[in-house]
Amino acid sequence: MTPVTLGRCWIGRLAHGSDLLESLNALCRTHAIRLGRIEGLGAVQRACLGFYDQQSQQYTFLERNEELEITQLTGNVSLKDGMPFVHLHITLADRSGQAWGGHVAPGTILFAAEVIIQELVGAELQRGWDETTGLPLWNTP
Protein backbone atom coordinates (compact mmCIF):
# COMPACT_ATOMS: atom_id res chain seq x y z
CA MET A 1 0.00 0.00 0.00
CA THR A 2 1.10 3.54 -0.74
CA PRO A 3 0.28 6.49 1.56
CA VAL A 4 -1.48 9.48 -0.01
CA THR A 5 -3.14 12.69 1.16
CA LEU A 6 -6.19 14.50 -0.16
CA GLY A 7 -5.60 17.11 -2.83
CA ARG A 8 -7.98 19.23 -4.86
CA CYS A 9 -11.62 18.19 -5.30
CA TRP A 10 -14.01 18.78 -8.20
CA ILE A 11 -17.77 18.43 -8.07
CA GLY A 12 -20.24 19.01 -10.87
CA ARG A 13 -22.29 17.55 -13.64
CA LEU A 14 -21.23 16.12 -16.95
CA ALA A 15 -22.81 17.14 -20.26
CA HIS A 16 -26.03 15.53 -21.48
CA GLY A 17 -25.31 13.22 -24.42
CA SER A 18 -21.60 12.92 -23.68
CA ASP A 19 -19.66 9.70 -23.34
CA LEU A 20 -19.13 9.03 -19.62
CA LEU A 21 -15.61 7.61 -19.85
CA GLU A 22 -14.37 10.12 -22.43
CA SER A 23 -15.76 13.05 -20.39
CA LEU A 24 -13.97 11.97 -17.22
CA ASN A 25 -10.70 11.24 -19.01
CA ALA A 26 -10.84 14.72 -20.60
CA LEU A 27 -11.47 16.38 -17.22
CA CYS A 28 -8.52 14.57 -15.68
CA ARG A 29 -6.22 15.58 -18.53
CA THR A 30 -7.42 19.20 -18.45
CA HIS A 31 -6.85 19.55 -14.70
CA ALA A 32 -3.71 17.36 -14.58
CA ILE A 33 -5.30 14.89 -12.17
CA ARG A 34 -2.76 12.07 -12.07
CA LEU A 35 -4.15 10.13 -9.11
CA GLY A 36 -7.62 10.21 -7.63
CA ARG A 37 -10.95 8.61 -6.94
CA ILE A 38 -14.30 9.14 -8.62
CA GLU A 39 -17.88 8.63 -7.52
CA GLY A 40 -21.19 9.67 -9.00
CA LEU A 41 -24.81 9.06 -9.84
CA GLY A 42 -27.31 9.98 -12.52
CA ALA A 43 -28.74 8.26 -15.58
CA VAL A 44 -27.61 7.01 -18.98
CA GLN A 45 -29.31 6.83 -22.35
CA ARG A 46 -27.37 3.71 -23.24
CA ALA A 47 -24.60 1.69 -21.64
CA CYS A 48 -21.66 -0.43 -22.65
CA LEU A 49 -20.40 -2.62 -19.82
CA GLY A 50 -17.39 -4.90 -19.74
CA PHE A 51 -16.86 -8.17 -17.90
CA TYR A 52 -13.32 -9.59 -17.66
CA ASP A 53 -13.16 -13.35 -18.19
CA GLN A 54 -10.34 -14.52 -15.94
CA GLN A 55 -9.69 -17.73 -17.86
CA SER A 56 -9.50 -16.27 -21.37
CA GLN A 57 -8.11 -12.94 -20.04
CA GLN A 58 -10.40 -11.01 -22.37
CA TYR A 59 -13.27 -8.60 -21.92
CA THR A 60 -16.75 -9.36 -23.16
CA PHE A 61 -19.17 -6.46 -23.51
CA LEU A 62 -22.85 -6.05 -22.80
CA GLU A 63 -24.70 -3.22 -24.50
CA ARG A 64 -27.97 -1.90 -23.09
CA ASN A 65 -29.70 0.51 -25.46
CA GLU A 66 -32.23 1.85 -22.96
CA GLU A 67 -32.70 4.42 -20.23
CA LEU A 68 -30.98 3.31 -17.02
CA GLU A 69 -30.38 4.90 -13.62
CA ILE A 70 -26.82 5.08 -12.29
CA THR A 71 -27.21 3.67 -8.78
CA GLN A 72 -23.45 3.54 -8.18
CA LEU A 73 -20.45 4.88 -10.05
CA THR A 74 -17.01 4.35 -8.58
CA GLY A 75 -13.52 4.45 -9.96
CA ASN A 76 -10.01 5.74 -9.85
CA VAL A 77 -7.52 7.81 -11.77
CA SER A 78 -3.91 6.80 -12.30
CA LEU A 79 -1.40 6.93 -15.13
CA LYS A 80 -1.24 4.70 -18.16
CA ASP A 81 1.47 5.36 -20.71
CA GLY A 82 2.19 8.61 -18.83
CA MET A 83 -1.36 9.99 -19.26
CA PRO A 84 -4.25 10.25 -16.77
CA PHE A 85 -6.39 7.12 -17.12
CA VAL A 86 -9.87 6.67 -15.62
CA HIS A 87 -10.92 3.17 -14.53
CA LEU A 88 -14.66 3.00 -13.72
CA HIS A 89 -17.20 0.47 -12.55
CA ILE A 90 -20.92 1.11 -12.58
CA THR A 91 -24.19 -0.36 -11.36
CA LEU A 92 -27.29 0.57 -13.35
CA ALA A 93 -30.98 -0.17 -12.81
CA ASP A 94 -33.76 -0.41 -15.38
CA ARG A 95 -37.37 0.66 -14.84
CA SER A 96 -38.27 -2.71 -13.27
CA GLY A 97 -35.38 -2.48 -10.80
CA GLN A 98 -33.22 -5.08 -12.52
CA ALA A 99 -29.56 -4.23 -12.03
CA TRP A 100 -26.72 -4.37 -14.53
CA GLY A 101 -23.13 -3.72 -13.69
CA GLY A 102 -19.54 -3.93 -14.78
CA HIS A 103 -16.57 -2.07 -16.17
CA VAL A 104 -17.57 1.18 -17.93
CA ALA A 105 -16.61 1.04 -21.60
CA PRO A 106 -16.73 3.71 -24.30
CA GLY A 107 -20.26 4.09 -25.62
CA THR A 108 -21.93 4.74 -22.25
CA ILE A 109 -23.90 7.86 -23.13
CA LEU A 110 -25.14 10.18 -20.40
CA PHE A 111 -28.59 11.55 -19.78
CA ALA A 112 -27.41 13.26 -16.59
CA ALA A 113 -24.51 12.71 -14.21
CA GLU A 114 -23.27 14.35 -11.04
CA VAL A 115 -19.73 13.39 -10.12
CA ILE A 116 -17.04 14.04 -7.57
CA ILE A 117 -13.37 13.69 -8.42
CA GLN A 118 -11.07 13.67 -5.40
CA GLU A 119 -7.42 14.14 -6.27
CA LEU A 120 -4.92 12.14 -4.22
CA VAL A 121 -1.38 13.39 -3.65
CA GLY A 122 1.79 11.58 -2.69
CA ALA A 123 2.21 8.84 -5.24
CA GLU A 124 2.14 8.36 -8.98
CA LEU A 125 0.68 5.00 -9.76
CA GLN A 126 1.51 3.82 -13.25
CA ARG A 127 -0.46 1.04 -14.88
CA GLY A 128 1.70 -1.72 -16.28
CA TRP A 129 1.11 -5.15 -17.74
CA ASP A 130 0.52 -7.84 -15.11
CA GLU A 131 1.45 -11.29 -16.44
CA THR A 132 -0.67 -13.19 -13.89
CA THR A 133 -3.98 -11.46 -14.68
CA GLY A 134 -3.38 -10.14 -18.18
CA LEU A 135 -4.51 -6.69 -17.03
CA PRO A 136 -2.84 -3.26 -16.89
CA LEU A 137 -2.65 -3.00 -13.09
CA TRP A 138 -0.98 -0.52 -10.77
CA ASN A 139 2.75 -0.95 -10.31
CA THR A 140 2.92 -0.45 -6.54
CA PRO A 141 5.85 -1.03 -4.22
- pTM for this prediction: 0.94
| Residues of the chain with confidence (pLDDT) below 70 | 141
What does R_g of the chain's alpha carbons equal in angstroms?
15
2 in a domain, yes or no?
no
Q: What is the pLDDT of residue 2?
A: 85
Domain count of the fold of the chain: 1
Structural domain includes residue 140: no
134 forms beta bridges with: none
Could you tell me the CATH number of the domain that includes residue 47?
A: 3.30.1330.80
Quick one: which H or E segment has residue 51? Answer: strand 36-53
Which pLDDT score is estimated for 141?
Answer: 61
Query: Looking at the domain assignment, is residue 3 inside a domain?
Result: no
Alpha carbon 28 to its chain's center: 12
What integer best gives the mean pLDDT of the chain? 96
**pLDDT on residue 16:** 98
- Whether residue 53 is contained in a domain is answered as yes
Domain that includes residue 49, residue range? 9-135
Q: Is position 85 within any domain?
A: yes
- Dihedrals φ, ψ of 5, to 5°? -125, 165
pLDDT reported for residue 8? 97
Asked, for residue 119, whether it belongs to a domain, the answer is: yes
